């Protein structure tokens, strides 16, 4: 017996069960085959096939095709053969790409070969038969009466009639979750969800006996269903590695072109006389690339990279000398000792991937060009967006009619699990005492939301993944369309990889734009104008900047953790930076401390003589991803492919099962080679510190090069560099922190100015001018419009400015508060300017018929009245609200009296108070939440006053007590102990409170806090 009509949770916002749960249930109920037919998609194909393998069930691949004009399911389509699978992909793609023209009765016959089609309506069945498609009738329990039009039509046409029982969940208990999903989908209140918007509680996967009972009036229907699907032999697509060839070239031709181009590039990189090592390496790589048929792929990537003058090849591809010679990457693999085998080796069955960073603002255009260049044969990779705890909670609360304000209020009090926005959610926790005390309906909200977590919600875009196929892409996979009209694969990156589709990652990188803009601002004076030439990493002053951690704003090395690490290590050369940016991976805490000790001359022994050579340059520690693989080969005799598998498993989500197997094999292999149990355990533990994300050396080296370029510009051209950082929207920090850093660098920060400034930040010499785009609450086009009008001719006065640029009232307000209109006022204060703007707006438009009201004065609005005098604090408060920072001073300066009254130290004083308890008042700059080994949340916080930055640590206990104080942007008073770790000064916080106002004469408004 086979159950037809089964849907998984990939029938989005309708089905509740994962393919894995479905397969498990089907196996338990005694089904031997399972046909998964999600609504108009194959999103769940790969999890479904994997689950079927695990449960020993025969998969039948299909989809429920709906009629877009009616929205109702029209037909079930099952792929019987490879040809059927391709046709299914084509049908689904057409359903999504041309919904307005998709008529199932016309489209299905065009792609019917290899498909088993079951029509759900009499009309469709008739038209399919007219077109010669031997479709069956999909008879649901509702249509079981022999007088039903569908059954009458089937008898008339002689079409087989098969039992189809729509199933969207597993147990009756899931029905409430299903209704919640429908309510979310319909944006309705759960209590008011119209019955026609959801399915009855019986729409679940029934045990065979119950299924038989549902079709008891006509048991033949079930027999027909089994008979129809019996010959289906298709068990999932086997596409192999799908690599795009270069259009119009054979593999041999591509290989020849690649060889020519690689050598031409090598001469550009190394000069006319090639070093012998380079020739040897090139020959080795070219031979391997040609043998594996990747030449066309290399050339396609090269063609993409050529679209932008400044890119950064990242990932393991940077280990290839061919890639370096083609300009795909910019780090010499010979000089920096990068192993090609990390990227490509003969034993590898999975596709290689070359990832390239583009300037963030060029990336979309690059992707559009690639999709256009390979039109019909390329698509963007999807991202299956799941309900994260936080999203699940919000959506559930809304479906139960709770308002946003209340949701936000309650959420803040919930355990961390519910705050989770991205990344991996922990296991849903049981009701704690705190959540149990919440007022109704919150316990219900939490209960429902918990079940929602992990279900897919919708499809979005993978940030930069693109796949290119040799033939039409709809022959390989179903394709949809993004909101912007680009083709979108129905699978995410894991699905694409399992299918064998080679993904090219084209990612956005702000720092490439920062470097580009800073160099453009420098014009003639720009250093390293040839991206291949120039060696910022050789510059001594730049090395000092890096070694002292003065790297705020510099790509990849600006986070508080990295700046502290640099200060502890006190090294600023390229090779060490490559190590540092790899070893700072999340799970490596203990090894990080050991590394610093060894770096500073602490004695150490290699874990095992076999490792001594491999880990010589990294002080005997596993630092790079490939170290894991190489250690496994050296110590346990893993084959390169096997070792690579171990490396990959470590970065996967559900690794437990696979990892246990690797652990056993590693132990056996290592013991056989004479390692002791302790040595095996020590090495394995170090390997496990590659949990989550980690880096390979080629990747880190590529990035370190960009870091050095940024650090060089910051050291020698701070105004141009900081302007470029701020103009590109900052990076790790908010603009506030970069403006403070600019002031610390001795730069004068000027406010935005419609009469003088540009759209973006600009800098030269010792001054930095805020761009008009820095003003919040402006529509995106206004700054450009202002600059364009000014180019035509300067603004004569405020009225001229307003008449020619037409900002809205809110925009005028924001520009005024930011100080951008001060230059047009002729010395008048901002209230008077605001009055003039309002007066102009209320005046009749110039072109209107001149009918003067009888008693109105000639000039509407009259003279400018005298407004109460401006309070400086109020003016700064408004400036802060409009910009998110203050130009002329640090906001903490306004609290000097309060800080003094509270006995607070300045940031610069802390380094002379090592080991002592101090008070410090600062502005919160950034916060990083981490979990201790036992899972308790704690935080690393960065605070700032006018003299500098202070890195603070909140251990779990203080964090729990004070975390609610961290939500707002306001000065905080910290008390704690100053610690020194290898020269990096931090503050271990014991207590934390809002900075109390000074006790001094309480003048009205004198203590008003500036709030964002």
Partner 1 sequence: MERSIIHLNVADFAAAVERALDPRLAGRPLVIARPAAARATVFDMSEEAFRAGVRKGMPLALARRRCPEAQLLPPRPERYARAMRVLFETALAYSPRVETGRADGHLFLDATGTRRLLGPPMDVAWRLRREVRARLGVTPIWTLAPNKLVAKAASRLVKPEGEYIVAEGEEEAFLAPLPLELVPGVERCDLRTLGSFRLRRAGEVAALPLEALRVLCGARAGFLHEAVRGIDPSPVRAAGEPAPEIAAEERFAGDTDDEAELAAALARLAGRAGAELRRRRLTARRVRVVLHGADGAEALRRAALHPPTADDFLLRDAARRAAAAAWSRRVRLRGLALACEGLVFPPAQIELFPAAGEAGEGRARLMAAIDRVRRRFGEEALRVAAALPPETA
Q: How far is the CB of 321 from partner 1 (least distance, A)?
A: 59
| 391-411: burial string, b at 16+ Cβ within 10 Å, e else | bbbbbbbbbbebeeeebeebe
The reply on whether position 835 binds partner 1 by CB under 8 A is yes
Q: Using the minimum distance from each CB to partner 1, give the nearer residue, 114 or 819.
A: 819
Q: Using the minimum distance from each CB to partner 1, give the nearer residue, 269 or 875.
A: 875
Q: Using the minimum distance from each CB to partner 1, give the nearer residue, 220 or 809.
A: 809
Q: How far is the CB of 956 from partner 1 (least distance, A)?
A: 24
Q: How far is the CB of 846 from partner 1 (least distance, A)?
A: 18
Segment near partner 1 (CB under 8 A); pick from 39-47, 382-390, 504-512, 837-845:
837-845
Q: Using the minimum distance from each CB to partner 1, give the nearer residue, 106 or 1011.
A: 1011
Residue selected from 68, 207, 441, 998 as contacting partner 1 according to rule CB under 8 A: 441
Query: Which bin fits 236, alpha (ψ -120 to 50), beta or left (φ > 0)?
Result: left
**CA–CA separation, 837 vs 809, rounded Å?**
8
Segment near partner 1 (CB under 8 A); pick from 622-630, 659-667, 752-760, 836-844:
836-844
Query: CB–CB of 611/620 below 8 Å?
Result: yes
The reply on whether position 99 binds partner 1 by CB under 8 A is no
Query: CB–CB of 64/38 below 8 Å?
Result: yes
Q: How far is the CB of 440 from partner 1 (least distance, A)?
A: 4
The reply on whether position 187 binds partner 1 by CB under 8 A is yes
The reply on whether position 845 binds partner 1 by CB under 8 A is no
The reply on whether position 176 binds partner 1 by CB under 8 A is no
Q: Is 926 helix (H, G, I), strand (E, B) or coil?
A: strand
Q: Is 833 helix (H, G, I), strand (E, B) or coil?
A: helix
The reply on whether position 195 binds partner 1 by CB under 8 A is no
Residue selected from 842, 845, 846, 934 as contacting partner 1 according to rule CB under 8 A: 842
- Torsion angle (degrees, nearest 10) of CA 266, 269, 272, 277: -60
Helix (H) or strand (E) holding 365: helix 363-373
Q: How far is the CB of 394 from partner 1 (least distance, A)?
A: 12
The reply on whether position 834 binds partner 1 by CB under 8 A is yes
Query: CB–CB of 664/646 below 8 Å?
Result: no
Q: Using the minimum distance from each CB to partner 1, give the nearer residue, 187 or 657.
A: 187
The reply on whether position 188 binds partner 1 by CB under 8 A is yes
Query: CB–CB of 387/398 below 8 Å?
Result: no
Question: Which tokens hold the place of 786?
Answer: 């202002």
Question: Which tokens hold the place of 806?
Answer: 């037409």
Q: How far is the CB of 174 from partner 1 (least distance, A)?
A: 22
Residue selected from 71, 158, 192, 854 as contacting partner 1 according to rule CB under 8 A: 192
Segment near partner 1 (CB under 8 A); pick from 450-458, 568-576, 751-759, 870-878:
870-878
Question: Residue 330 — φ and ψ, nearest 5°?
Answer: -125, 10
Segment near partner 1 (CB under 8 A); pick from 282-290, 394-402, 657-665, 887-895:
394-402
The reply on whether position 1006 binds partner 1 by CB under 8 A is no
Considering CB under 8 A, how many residues would be counted as binding partner 1?
Answer: 39
Q: Using the minimum distance from each CB to partner 1, give the nearer residue, 445 or 711.
A: 445
Strand 378-386 versus strand 456-468 pairing type: antiparallel
Strand 762-764 versus strand 487-489 pairing type: unpaired
Q: How far is the CB of 400 from partner 1 (least distance, A)?
A: 6
- Select from 639, 641, 643, 632 the least CA-distant residue to 610: 632
Q: How far is the CB of 448 from partner 1 (least distance, A)?
A: 13
The reply on whether position 844 binds partner 1 by CB under 8 A is no
**CA–CA separation, 363 vs 462, rounded Å?**
13
Residue selected from 372, 404, 893, 968 as contacting partner 1 according to rule CB under 8 A: 404
- Select from 767, 764, 728 the least CA-distant residue to 751: 767
- Select from 349, 523, 381, 516 the least CA-distant residue to 459: 381
Residue selected from 612, 860, 900, 931 as contacting partner 1 according to rule CB under 8 A: 860
The reply on whether position 813 binds partner 1 by CB under 8 A is yes
Strand 503-509 versus strand 355-359 pairing type: parallel
**CA–CA separation, 569 vs 599, rounded Å?**
7
The reply on whether position 825 binds partner 1 by CB under 8 A is no
Segment near partner 1 (CB under 8 A); pick from 84-92, 434-442, 583-591, 698-706:
434-442
**CA–CA separation, 93 vs 542, rounded Å?**
53
Residues 473-502 that bind partner 1 (CB under 8 A): none
The reply on whether position 405 binds partner 1 by CB under 8 A is yes
Bridge partner residues of 229 (DSSP): none
Report angle CA 315, 321, 327 to the nearest 5 degrees.
75
Q: How far is the CB of 653 from partner 1 (least distance, A)?
A: 33
- Three-state SS for 873-925 is HHHHHHHHHHHCCCCCCCHHHHHHHHHHHCCCECHHHHHHCCCCEEEEEEEEE
Half-sphere exposure of 970 (CA within 13 A, CB side): 17
**CA–CA separation, 761 vs 129, rounded Å?**
67
**CA–CA separation, 621 vs 579, rounded Å?**
10
The reply on whether position 838 binds partner 1 by CB under 8 A is yes
The reply on whether position 839 binds partner 1 by CB under 8 A is yes
Per-residue CA distances from 988 to 753, 940, 942, 981 (Å): 42, 10, 12, 12
The reply on whether position 402 binds partner 1 by CB under 8 A is yes
The reply on whether position 994 binds partner 1 by CB under 8 A is no
Q: What is the CA radius of gyration of the chain?
A: 33
Q: How far is the CB of 839 from partner 1 (least distance, A)?
A: 5
The reply on whether position 614 binds partner 1 by CB under 8 A is no
Residue selected from 257, 411, 649, 831 as contacting partner 1 according to rule CB under 8 A: 831
Q: Using the minimum distance from each CB to partner 1, give the nearer residue, 523 or 869.
A: 869
Residue selected from 145, 189, 277, 520 as contacting partner 1 according to rule CB under 8 A: 189
The reply on whether position 398 binds partner 1 by CB under 8 A is yes
Residues 103-142 that bind partner 1 (CB under 8 A): none
Segment near partner 1 (CB under 8 A); pick from 104-112, 399-407, 499-507, 778-786:
399-407
Q: Using the minimum distance from each CB to partner 1, give the nearer residue, 575 or 777.
A: 777
Q: Using the minimum distance from each CB to partner 1, give the nearer residue, 540 or 855.
A: 855
663: buried, middle or exposed (CB in 10 Å: 19+, 13-18, 0-12)?
A: middle
The reply on whether position 194 binds partner 1 by CB under 8 A is no
The reply on whether position 965 binds partner 1 by CB under 8 A is no
Q: Which residue matches tokens 């022994």?
A: 605
Rounded to a whole number, what is the largest CA-CA distance in the chain? 106
Alpha helices in 426-491 (DSSP H): 433-436, 442-452
Q: Using the minimum distance from each CB to partner 1, give the nearer residue, 270 or 835.
A: 835
Residue selected from 400, 552, 611, 883 as contacting partner 1 according to rule CB under 8 A: 400
Q: How far is the CB of 754 from partner 1 (least distance, A)?
A: 19
Kindly list the residues in this chain that would bind partner 1 in the complex (CB under 8 A): 187-192, 398-406, 439-441, 813, 831, 834-835, 838-839, 842, 857, 860-871, 874
């Amino acid at each position: 017996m086979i159950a037809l009509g089964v849907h998984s949770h990939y029938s989005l916002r309708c089905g509740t069960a994962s393919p894995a749960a479905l397969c498990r249930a089907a196996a338990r109920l005694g089904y031997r085959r399972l046909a998964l037919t999600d609504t108009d998609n194959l999103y769940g194909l790969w999890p479904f096939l994997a689950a079927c393998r695990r449960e020993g069930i025969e998969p039948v691949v299909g989809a429920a095709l709906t009629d877009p004009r009616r929205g109702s399911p029209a037909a079930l389509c099952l792929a019987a053969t490879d040809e059927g699978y391709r046709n299914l992909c084509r049908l689904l793609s057409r359903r999504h790409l041309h919904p307005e023209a998709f008529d199932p009765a016309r489209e299905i016959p065009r792609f019917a070969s290899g498909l088993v089609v079951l029509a759900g309506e009499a009309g469709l069945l008739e038209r399919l038969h007219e077109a010669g498609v031997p479709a069956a009738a999909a008879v649901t329990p509702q249509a079981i009466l022999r007088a039903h039009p569908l059954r009458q039509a089937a008898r008339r046409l002689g079409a087989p009639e098969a039992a189809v029982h729509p199933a969207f969940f597993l147990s009756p208990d899931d029905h409430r979750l299903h209704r919640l999903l429908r309510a979310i989908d319909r944006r309705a209140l759960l209590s008011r969800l119209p019955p026609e918007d959801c399915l009855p509680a019986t729409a679940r996967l029934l045990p065979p006996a119950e299924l038989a009972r549902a079709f008891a009036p006509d048991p033949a229907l079930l027999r027909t269903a089994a008979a129809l699907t019996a010959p289906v032999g298709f068990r999932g697509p086997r596409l192999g590695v799908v690599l795009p060839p270069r259009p119009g070239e054979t593999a041999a031709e591509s290989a020849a072109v690649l060889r020519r181009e690689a050598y031409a590039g090598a001469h550009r990189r190394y000069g006319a006389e090639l070093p012998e090592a380079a020739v040897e390496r090139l020959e080795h790589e070219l031979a391997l690339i040609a043998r594996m048929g990747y030449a066309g792929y290399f050339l396609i990537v090269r063609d993409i990279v050529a679209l932008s003058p400044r890119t950064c090849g990242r990932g393991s591809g940077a280990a290839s000398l061919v890639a370096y010679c083609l300009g795909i990457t910019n780090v010499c693999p010979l000089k920096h000792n990068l192993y090609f085998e990390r990227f490509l080796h003969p034993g590898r069955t999975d596709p290689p991937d070359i990832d390239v960073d583009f300037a963030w603002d060029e990336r979309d255009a690059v992707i559009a060009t690639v999709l256009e260049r390979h039109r019909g044969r390329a698509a963007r990779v999807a991202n299956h967006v799941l309900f994260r705890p936080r999203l699940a909670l919000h959506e559930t609360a809304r479906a139960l009619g709770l308002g946003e304000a209340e949701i936000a209020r309650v959420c803040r009090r919930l355990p961390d699990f519910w705050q989770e926005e991205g990344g991996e959610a922990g296991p849903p926790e049981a009701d704690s005492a705190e959540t149990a005390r919440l007022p109704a309906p919150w316990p219900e909200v939490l209960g429902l939301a918990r079940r929602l977590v992990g279900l897919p919600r919708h499809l979005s875009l993978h940030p930069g993944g693109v796949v290119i196929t040799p033939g039409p892409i709809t022959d390989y996979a179903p394709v949809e369309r993004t909101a912007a009209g680009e083709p979108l694969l129905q699978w995410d990156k894991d699905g694409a990889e399992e299918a064998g589709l080679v993904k090219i990652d084209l990612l956005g990188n702000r720092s490439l734009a920062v470097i580009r803009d800073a160099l453009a601002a420098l014009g003639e004076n720009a250093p390293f104008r040839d991206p291949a030439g120039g060696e910022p990493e050789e510059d001594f002053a730049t090395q000092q900047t890096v070694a002292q951690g003065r790297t705020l704003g510099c790509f990849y090395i600006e986070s508080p953790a990295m700046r502290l690490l640099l200060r502890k290590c006190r090294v600023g050369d390229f090779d060490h930076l490559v190590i540092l940016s790899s070893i700072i991976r999340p799970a490596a805490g203990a090894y990080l401390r050991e590394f610093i000790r060894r770096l500073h001359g602490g004695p150490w022994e290699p874990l095992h003589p076999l490792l001594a050579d491999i880990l010589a340059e990294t002080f005997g520690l596993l630092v790079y991803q490939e170290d894991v693989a190489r250690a496994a080969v050296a110590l346990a005799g893993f084959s390169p492919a096997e070792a690579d598998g171990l490396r990959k498993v470590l970065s996967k989500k559900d690794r437990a099962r696979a990892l246990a197997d690797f652990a056993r094999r590693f132990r056996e292999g290592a013991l056989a080679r004479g390692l002791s149990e302790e040595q095996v355990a020590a090495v394995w533990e170090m390997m496990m510190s590659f949990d989550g994300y980690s880096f390979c050396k080629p990747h880190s080296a590529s990035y370190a090069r960009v870091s050095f370029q940024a650090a060089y510009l910051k050291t020698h051209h701070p105004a141009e560099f900081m302007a470029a950082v701020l103009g590109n929207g900052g990076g790790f920090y908010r603009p506030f922190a970069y403006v403070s850093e600019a002031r610390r660098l001795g730069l004068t920060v000027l406010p935005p100015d419609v009469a003088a400034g540009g759209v973006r930040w600009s800098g030269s010499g010792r001054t930095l001018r805020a761009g008009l785009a820095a003003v919040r609450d402006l529509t995106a086009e206004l700054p450009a419009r202002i600059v364009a009008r000014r180019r035509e001719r300067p603004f004569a006065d405020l009225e001229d400015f307003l008449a020619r640029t037409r900002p809205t009232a809110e925009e005028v307000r924001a520009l005024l508060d930011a100080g951008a209109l001060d230059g047009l006022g002729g010395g008048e204060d901002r209230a008077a300017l605001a009055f003039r703007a309002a007066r102009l707006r209320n005046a009749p438009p110039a072109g209107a018929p001149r009918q003067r009201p009888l008693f109105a004065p000639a000039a509407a609005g009259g003279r400018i009245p005298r407004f109460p005098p401006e309070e400086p604090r109020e003016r700064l408060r408004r400036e802060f609200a409009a910009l998110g920072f203050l130009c002329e001073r640090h906001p903490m300066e306004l609290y000097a009296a309060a800080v003094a009254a509270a006995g607070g130290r300045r940031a610069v004083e802390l380094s002379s108070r090592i080991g002592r308890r101090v008070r410090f008042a600062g502005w919160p700059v950034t916060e990083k939440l981490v979990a201790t080994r036992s899972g308790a949340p704690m935080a690393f916080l960065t605070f700032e006053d006018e003299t500098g930055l202070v890195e603070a640590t909140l251990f779990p206990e203080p964090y729990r007590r004070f975390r609610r104080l961290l939500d707002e942007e306001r000065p905080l008073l910290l008390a704690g102990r100053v610690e020194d770790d290898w020269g990096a000064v931090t503050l271990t916080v014991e207590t934390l409170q809002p900075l109390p106002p000074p006790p001094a004469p309480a003048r009205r408004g004198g203590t008003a806090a500036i709030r964002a």
